[in-house]
């Protein structure tokens, strides 16, 4: 997190400045289709054996009167996804084997490859949200100067960072399948599409809708 974003976050939490009231948050969520994408285990990046990456395009309204980072932080928090941070996405391939992750785009745009080197490149921009099940490879390939991402995690699991190596892969496989399904969708709450899509392998409904990719 940059020093500027860190200072803003401290001031906002202390004063409520530029942060949305809880009653405002539902009105800042737009109805959007959940685009789901599955990626295979390539021997180095495991991805998730059953659950897809989910992307909501333009799902968050980010009015100029509010700090967009604060909107995403508070939205994720009321839905049980906390330990949030403000930053970008690392420029090397990595994944998390002990926890799921949500990435909300507060400002700018970036090209992020999900699924590892054999995955898919998406252009994600302000208002988009990506939900990564444990094991999903991700890497930023390029971004605008103002690119700002808000990350958060469910209230269970342990943060870890795994690199793209066979050794990490062997250790990660068993851990990934032990990470339980979250109780709420980080955007839509208890009734969100995430809970319907992240079920057993036989129950996943995949929508391969076109993405802004290259």
pLDDT tens digits along 94-121: 999 999 999 999 999 999 999 999 999 9
Helix (H) or strand (E) holding 73: helix 68-78
With 50 as the cut, is the pLDDT of residue 204 above it? no
Quickly state the pLDDT bin for 12 (edges 50, 70, 90): low
With 50 as the cut, is the pLDDT of residue 5 above it? yes
Tell me the whole-structure pTM to 2 decimals.
0.88
pLDDT tens digits along 115-151: 999 999 999 999 999 999 999 999 999 999 999 999 9
In angstroms, rounded to a whole number, what is the distance separating the alpha carbons of residues 194 and 131?
A: 9
Share of the chain above pLDDT 90, in %: 84
Domains with residue ranges and CATH for the chain: 3-203 (2.60.120.10)
**Could you count the other beta carbons within 10 Å of the beta carbon of residue 27?**
9
Q: What pLDDT is attached to residue 18?
A: 80
Helix (H) or strand (E) holding 10: helix 3-15
């Amino acid at each position: 997190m940059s020093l500027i974003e860190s200072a803003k976050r401290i001031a906002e939490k202390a004063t409520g400045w530029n942060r949305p009231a809880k009653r405002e948050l539902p009105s800042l969520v737009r109805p959007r289709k959940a685009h789901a994408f599955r990626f295979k285990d390539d021997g180095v990046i495991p991805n998730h054996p059953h659950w897809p990456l989910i992307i909501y395009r333009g799902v968050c309204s980010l009015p100029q009167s509010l700090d967009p980072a604060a909107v995403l932080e508070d939205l994720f928090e009321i839905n049980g996804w906390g330990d949030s941070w403000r930053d970008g996405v690392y420029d090397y391939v990595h994944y998390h084997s002990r926890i799921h992750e949500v990435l909300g785009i507060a400002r700018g745009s970036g090209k992020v490859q999900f699924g590892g080197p054999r995955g898919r490149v998406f252009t994600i921009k302000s208002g988009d949200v990506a939900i990564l099940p444990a094991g999903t490879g991700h890497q930023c390939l390029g971004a605008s100067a103002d690119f700002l991402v808000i990350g958060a995690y469910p209230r269970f699991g342990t943060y870890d960072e795994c690199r793209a190596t066979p050794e990490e892969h062997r250790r990660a496989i068993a851990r990934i399948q032990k990470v339980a399904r979250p109780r709420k969708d980080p955007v839509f709450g208890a009734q969100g599409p995430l809970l319907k899509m992240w079920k057993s392998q036989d129950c996943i409904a995949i929508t391969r809708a076109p993405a802004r990719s290259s």
